[in-house]
Structure 1
Amino acid sequence: MRVIDLSSSVDASGWEPNEVVHEVMSAVEGAEHMATRMRENWGVDFDPSVLPGGELLTLDTITLTTHTGTHVDAPSHYGTPAGGGTARHIDEMPLDWFLRPGMVLDLTGAPVGQIGADRLRREFDRIGRTPEPMDIVLLNTGADRLAGSPKYFTDFPGLDGPATELLLDLGVRVIGTDAFSLDAPFGYMIEAYRRTGDTAVLWPAHFAGRSREYCQIERLSNLDALPPTGFTVSCLPVKIRGAGAGWTRAAALIEDGTEGGAS
């Protein structure tokens, strides 16, 4: 079995609309930190200088949103459910949603803006089948090549409402994209609304989750390394209580003998 990494890095050196702060405590500082905490919390005195080189362990502290890097959006991220009540958080979602057969749709030629249902149907025809219920459908837009730059957040295509509904009608409950968002860029949607006055152009993919429970994987990468079908997606989200999203180390599992690369 081959394992193909589909995740983008959490990288404090790259450009992000919400700053990522990554602080590293050295092994020497880690020893001092441990000794201080042992004394303050448990009344235990320990001299870290007796450790080899005076070192213990390094410690990373990262400040970021749950939507930084490759992550899974939970229904609670989309807002109040249309029928009332409370949407499920990421820690409440069934794990078997996130270890399922995968399917990649090649949307690399799509311009910045919204992708319609007809474009998805053409991909189904090209591949030779439609998604099965509970398949994880991945959208290869090619946007991951811009990751780490401001254009990653402005230059990509997203799904419109009918395209999202099409996938949900087929029983898909997890949809992934290599773009910043499953919806079109903010600027595109707002300009379309100003031009048309139609609120349906505003965040249709996310807002679909208010009436039909599903999850999105955003900020994937390396989708062009996958065949259209014949692989399993693993995208188990980090269990953060009460959160609207959780980070994931997404990967594709391909049995030996399956050809890679989009057809």
Structure 2
Amino acid sequence: MRIIDLSTPVDAGVWEPNPIEHTVMSPAEGALHMAEAMRTKHDLEFDPAVLPGGELLSLDFLRLTSHTGTHVDAPSHYGSTAAYGRPRDIDELPLDWFVRPGVVLDISDAPVGTVGSDRLKLQFDRIDYTPRPMDVVLLRTGAARLSGTPAYFTDFVGLDRSATELLLDLGVRVIGTDAFSLDAPFGHMIRTYQRTGDTGVLWPAHFLGREREYCQIERLNQLEQLPAPTGFTVSCLPVKIRNAGAGWARAVAILPS
């Protein structure tokens, strides 16, 4: 098989709205750490110098949100209550939602803001394919090229309510995007609301998750590497974090060799 990595790395060296803290305990420091733990917790003396090179194992310490890098949003992220009952956390969702046939829709020529259902229908016609129940639909917005910069969080296109409803009506339960959010940029939504007074422009894709149970994959990457709009399987299994509204995922596309 051929596997295409669709994930954005967790990288403390690039700009994030919630900065990542990543510190590394080196193998040498790990040896000293273990020796100290043996002494204080188990009353055992151990000289780390007897280890090869005086080293044991490294350890990475990270401070970040569950929405950093490529991740899957759970229904509980959208609100504390839902029309369909208690919104499920990321560790409660069916695993078979996240290993499914994929289809990628190219909306990279759309301006900052949102696209509606009519635009998605045009894409269905262009690729001669309509998503089937449980397909994973991936939106190529082109925003991934800005990843790691402040513009990644302000210059992208999302879905309005009608577009999100269309996909859910087709039976889709996982919608992905290479942008920061499935909704429009925060500033764009707020300015539109202030201009129109329409609260429906505020996080319509996310808030629809309070009415219809579904998941989003945000911050995908390399969707342009997919050789065709269909004919691949998406695997985006989220990390099992108890009681969490999201989980990191190593999203990949699996193609026949």
TM-score (norm 1): 0.95
- Retained in 2: the 8 A contact 1:141–1:157? yes
Pair 1:173-2:173 in alignment: yes
- Retained in 2: the 8 A contact 1:81–1:211? no
Superposition deviation, residue 53 in structure 1: 1.4
- Aligned-pair Cα RMSD in Å: 1.0
- Residue number in structure 2 paired with 1:232: 233
2:91 & 2:80 partners in 1: Cα distance?
17
SS in 2 for 1:114: strand
Within a 5 Å distance, the mapping from 1:90-169 to structure 2 comes to 90-169=90-169
2:128 & 2:84 partners in 1: Cα distance?
39
1:83 & 1:26 partners in 2: Cα distance?
49
Q: Aligned partner of 1:23: which letter?
A: T
- Residue number in structure 2 paired with 1:23: 23
- Residue number in structure 1 paired with 2:83: 83
Pair 1:50-2:24 in alignment: no
User: Unaligned 5+ residue runs, structure 1?
Assistant: 257-263
Superposition deviation, residue 83 in structure 1: 2.7
Q: Aligned partner of 1:208: which letter?
A: L
2:43 & 2:205 partners in 1: Cα distance?
53
- Retained in 1: the 8 A contact 2:113–2:157? yes
Superposition deviation, residue 84 in structure 1: 7.3
2:110 & 2:218 partners in 1: Cα distance?
17
1:135 & 1:84 partners in 2: Cα distance?
21
2:40 & 2:243 partners in 1: Cα distance?
30
1:86 & 1:42 partners in 2: Cα distance?
45
2:43 & 2:113 partners in 1: Cα distance?
60
SS in 2 for 1:10: coil
